[in-house]
Amino acid sequence: MVEIFKAYPDNVIKSTVGNGFSTYAYALEKIYPLVNRFTAQRKLLDTKFYSRLERDLISGCVMPHITLAFVKKDISELEYKSDVIADFVNKNIDSGYILDGIQRLNTLKRASGNPKLNYNSPLLLNIIISPNKDMLLYRMITLNNGQKPMTARHQIEILTQELFNFEDYSMDVQTEKERSEKIKRGAFNLGDISKGYLAFLTGNVHNENNKIIDEKMDQILVGRILDSNLEDVNVEFTEVLDLIDRLSKDESIKQWLMVNNNLIGFCVGVKSYYQQLKNVELNVFKQQIEKFESAFKGVNPSKVNLGKIRRDLSFYFITHFNDIIEENVDGLIERFAEVTL
């Protein structure tokens, strides 16, 4: 059982945040399995620090807080009441996410092999219940920023799969692992979608740069996410996925979105242009991307910058969608030329 001491509203991520406790026994039975929900299991760190913690747990230390998160559309029903929240958490424990403490739970699991471990020891918990997934990810990145083993990019890759239920869509999404077994024709790559998600979160189409060392790139990405004022954005990534799913019903639009650089530009563009696009008709969108492709040929980018320019232009194309409808191909080439100068 999880019990809750107290809960408060978090105005930044519009969530309910509380603290409480459970026991090692409950944690091993109910919370530890959530670690394994991550298909891309984070590598176990076998550092001195964790083996020290393992010994300390057996001798009866109190483990530092674990942070658990849940998504609930309407959090006002919880009213910040401890017992209501505890009830919600206990009922929905299987759909929780571990935001912070995967390594500690792994250590607890290792320690559980030792008969000296006291299963009734308290395990302290932080609980976050958030109305949407983007907020959760934002908090996760602010929590874990600075932790070496898991970069922001890595977290987003893992969480894309965890947070969004691709079963509900008519489009197919395949993980790298599934692809290696059997490639499904016409399926989106999960990795491509998570790149789109990263672009959505950073509000920037250029998040990859293999010339810059990882450490610096990660600092830059976290900075972008923190500066992107997620709380003021009126569209969630779930809605973006819904739109992609709807547009993909047309085969040629799907082919266009399956080009990852187009998808990246689309995801960032839609962040500020969602209202204008959400009801766009398939044949209108299809004609527009045909125009886009004809104009793109006319821009004649150098091979080196091809991907970069495609991202820039697809972003521009989405954020000027209604103006571009009026343009012919030549007019669009001119616009593109100005943007890429």
C-alpha dist (Å) from residue 305 to 213, 266, 299? 20, 18, 12
Q: Which of 90, 219, 228, 272 binds another protein (CB under 8 A)?
A: 219
Shortest separation between residue 269's beta carbon and another protein, angstroms: 18
Is residue 73 a contact point for another protein (CB under 8 A)?
Answer: no
Report d(CA 118, CA 201) in Å as an integer: 42
Q: Interface residues for another protein in 134-193 (CB under 8 A)?
A: none
Shortest separation between residue 217's beta carbon and another protein, angstroms: 8
Report d(CA 85, CA 75) in Å as an integer: 10
Q: Which are the contacts of 293, defined by CB distance < 8 A and separation ≥ 6?
A: 256
Shortest separation between residue 221's beta carbon and another protein, angstroms: 9
Shortest separation between residue 303's beta carbon and another protein, angstroms: 8
Is residue 229 a contact point for another protein (CB under 8 A)?
Answer: no
3-state secondary structure of 5: strand
Shortest separation between residue 229's beta carbon and another protein, angstroms: 15
Q: Segment contacting another protein (CB under 8 A): 52-60, 118-126, 221-229, 240-248?
A: 221-229
Triad 14, 244, 257: Cα angle to 5°: 130
Half-sphere exposure in the Cβ direction for 218 (13 Å, CA): 18
Q: What is the DSSP letter of 75?
A: G
Q: Interface residues for another protein in 271-330 (CB under 8 A)?
A: 304
The residue among 101 and 265 lying less far from another protein, judged by its C-beta, is 265
Report d(CA 10, CA 3) in Å as an integer: 20
Is residue 213 a contact point for another protein (CB under 8 A)?
Answer: yes
Binding site for another protein (CB under 8 A): 206, 209-214, 216-217, 219-220, 223-224, 226, 304, 341
